[in-house]
Amino acid sequence: MIEIKELHKSYQMGSNSLHVLKGINFTAKEGELVAIMGSSGSGKSTLLNILGMLDVADSGEYYLDGVPIKDLNETKAAKYRNQFLGFVFQSFNLINYKSALENVALPLYYQKIGRKERQEKAMKYLEQVGLKEWATHLPSELSGGQKQRVAIARAMAAEPKVLLADEPTGALDSTTSYEVMDLIQKINDQGNTILVVTHEEDIAHMCKRIVHLKDGVIVEDKKIKQVRVTQNV
């Protein structure tokens, strides 16, 4: 599903250059649930943003579902982004003046889906994250955990194959974090490939594989026995 080879990325700051990713090799098959760990500043977000086509690498290869992601024009890039990728961020990134339902429906608008179908689909995904009753509420009326569940519903509404989550529990207390991870595990059970950036060990162990970034390279990559938040029936 995701394959990267010898990926490099530097940031230029004036005459200085910061070499953040120094030859990353990584493959994730369909249905994997991978935690990406590493200390602050180790390049986790940089890597996730490149995988999410929000940023480009300086060199290396990237294949997403077999498609080489290189030198794509913005239209094509946007098409693949919409088709393959969903994003969840630490800070939720909901639109404050839109209801939960409208937030979830927004990506469907960009997919040119008609109003009625948008509403129905958005409601279906809100229901899946347990927030049907909160459809008309504004983000300011929701708890942090609820906001993140709306953000997850929004990401899933576009039916991406891959979900990229950058510290999705970073702004949440541990009980709420586990609720969000429960949801992520259940989405993964349905076959979606998910990458979760985290620096919390307990969150990482709720994934199926842990990749450790240090000094710009992957220093450890291991399959683990997944800790389930709730048992599947």
Q: Does residue 169 touch Mg ion according to CB under 5 A?
A: no
Among 45, 177, 185, 188, binds Mg ion (CB under 5 A): 45
Binding status of residue 139 toward ligand ADP by CB under 6 A: no
Min dist CB 41 to ligand ADP, Å, is 4
Alpha-carbon Rg for the chain in angstroms: 18
Residue 109 binds ligand ADP (CB under 6 A)? no
Q: With binding defined as CB under 6 A, does residue 73 bind ligand ADP?
A: no
Per rule CB under 6 A, is residue 214 in the interface with ligand ADP?
no
Q: Does 198 bind Mg ion (CB under 5 A)?
A: no
Task: Output the six-digit token pair for 205.
Answer: 């162990």
Would you call 70 helix, strand, or coil by DSSP?
A: coil
Dihedral through CA 87, CA 90, CA 96, CA 98, nearest 10? 30
Options 42-50, 109-117, 207-215, 216-224: segment touching Mg ion (CB under 5 A)? 42-50
Q: Can you tell me the distance from the alpha carbon of 180 to that of 152, in angstroms, rounded to the nearest whole number? A: 9
Asked whether 197 and 36 are in contact (CB, 8 A), the reply is: yes
| Closest by CA position to 155, among listed 40, 52, 45, 24 | 52
Of 45 and 146, nearer to ligand ADP (C-beta) is 45
* Residues 17, 58: Cα–Cα separation, whole Å: 12
The residues of the shown chain that bind ligand ADP, judged by CB under 6 A, are: 11, 13, 18, 20, 38, 40-46
The residues of the shown chain that bind Mg ion, judged by CB under 5 A, are: 44-45
